[in-house]
Amino acid sequence: MKTYELIAPCHFGLEAVLKREIDDLGYDISKTEDGRVTFVGDMEALCRANVFLRSAERILLKAGSFTARTFDELFECTKALPWEEWIPKDGKVWVTKASTVKSKLYSSSDIQSIMKKAIVERLKSAYHTEVIPETGASYPVRVFAMKDEFTVGIDSTGESLHKRGYRQSTTKAPISETLASALIMLTPWKKDRILVDPFCGSGTFAIEAAMMAANMAPGMNRSFLSESWKNLIPKKTWYDAMDEANDLVDLSVKTDIQGYDIDPSAVRMARENAQRAGVDYMIHLQQRPVSALSHPGKYGFIITNPPYGERLEEKADLPELYRTIGDRFAKLDTWSMYLITSYEDAQNAIGKKADKNRKIYNGMIKTYYYQYIGPKPPRREQRTSEI
């Protein structure tokens, strides 16, 4: 099968997590940039990446890259790409997004309009027709430009990969599924370790962790736009990827994953979402304030997304809230805590400097992932010999 370059965008600051995921799937990485990783693979790789990658936002089939400093150059360079290799005569094509950084061309709407005209002109010439009917499958194009260097990709995913299909109920400040997964993968948490989220909201951390524990592929219960690309991807390729995902699921796994929230409606939403994800039996969800956070087990993990105080009326409550987090964590002396927040004074309020601190953009909000790393548990054979 022919190979292509495939582009996987991700949250800024989490490229290393995505690289590890792609490597684990067995594909060679050709380029890593801020917010995206490019790798080499065939159409099977495109299908498997959509189904299995937890931290990617979408998968793009790279059409090409070029330098353009004027709209004339943009038109000609776009037109020079072999669009007929990917888009059939009746294909519906449009430039759905254009983003630029430090480039002479910065008007997204103008870039979109000019590139669309160039693509249509190329297709009309290739198919020897005066009209491209655009009645067939959809081939949305996404464009990134950095210092006049344009990268062009065709979106194979459709709705972003964070749309797993289970989260129909959300709280007012939910963390995305892709970001939650990436943050869990930045920790040493494994399915045999305790995980507690004391600000569980709609349950995303707990649900993503449970899906990881049961080896459930994040994309196994949703559809993808490129399933209609019959000119490029045989239906069997999609069936094979889904069959692989189903074969890997282990519903017998035993876990200790807990989610608390002071808001009863959030707990109800989390339960509904966990049921839709098929992991409700793996998660204990309960209405409880963070001041009641406790657990009899050792060597557990707190992984959480507490309030940031983005609303002015909430800011005054943050010092006391984060002091409470610090007090409860201090009593769990063998535990680790991983906490994402934009609250700049979080470490002072918690009363302890984080062992590691990672800057991550949660949407347009600059956040910090504070990592308080606890002791490793004794090796299993040592624990057994001590009994």
Both 284 and 330 in one domain: the answer is yes
Tell me the pLDDT tens digit for each residue of 232-278.
999 999 999 999 999 999 999 999 999 999 999 999 999 999 999 99
Both 363 and 246 in one domain: the answer is yes
Closest CA to 197 of 67, 337, 58: 337
Query: What's the CA gap between 279 and 179, in Å, rounded?
Result: 19
Both 182 and 146 in one domain: the answer is no
Tell me the pLDDT tens digit for each residue of 16-72.
999 999 999 999 999 999 999 999 999 999 999 999 999 999 999 999 999 999 999
CA angle 326, 329, 334 (to 5 degrees): 145
Both 277 and 146 in one domain: the answer is no
Query: What's the CA gap between 287 and 262, in Å, rounded?
Result: 5
Neighbours of 201 (CB within 10 A): 26
Residue 332 pLDDT > 90, yes or no? yes
Tell me the pLDDT tens digit for each residue of 126-140.
999 999 999 999 999
Query: Is position 161 within any domain?
Result: no
Query: Is position 166 within any domain?
Result: no
Segments forming the whole domain that contains residue 375: 177-218+228-386
SS3 of residue 29 by DSSP: strand
Query: Is position 165 within any domain?
Result: no
Both 364 and 280 in one domain: the answer is yes
Closest CA to 60 of 193, 181, 237, 224: 224
Tell me the CATH number at 45: 3.30.2130.30
- Tell me the two tokens of residue 304: 């959480």
User: For residue 16, what pLDDT is reported?
Assistant: 96
User: What mean pLDDT value characterizes the chain?
Assistant: 94
User: For residue 364, what pLDDT is reported?
Assistant: 80
Model pTM score: 0.94
User: For residue 233, what pLDDT is reported?
Assistant: 98
State phi, psi for 168 to the nearest 5 degrees. Answer: -95, -20
Give me the percent of the chain exceeding a pLDDT of 70.
Answer: 96
Domain count for the chain, please give it: 2
Both 151 and 192 in one domain: the answer is no
Least confident stretch, 164-173, 192-201, 269-278, 372-381: 164-173
Both 101 and 198 in one domain: the answer is no
- Tell me the two tokens of residue 178: 């892709």
1 vs 17 pLDDT, higher one:
17
Least confident stretch, 11-15, 46-50, 352-356: 11-15
What average pLDDT score do residues 8-19 get? 95
Both 64 and 207 in one domain: the answer is no
Cβ pair 153, 78 in contact under 8 A: no
Both 232 and 362 in one domain: the answer is yes
Tell me the pLDDT tens digit for each residue of 192-246.
999 999 999 999 999 999 999 999 999 999 999 999 999 999 999 999 999 999 9
User: For residue 169, what pLDDT is reported?
Assistant: 67
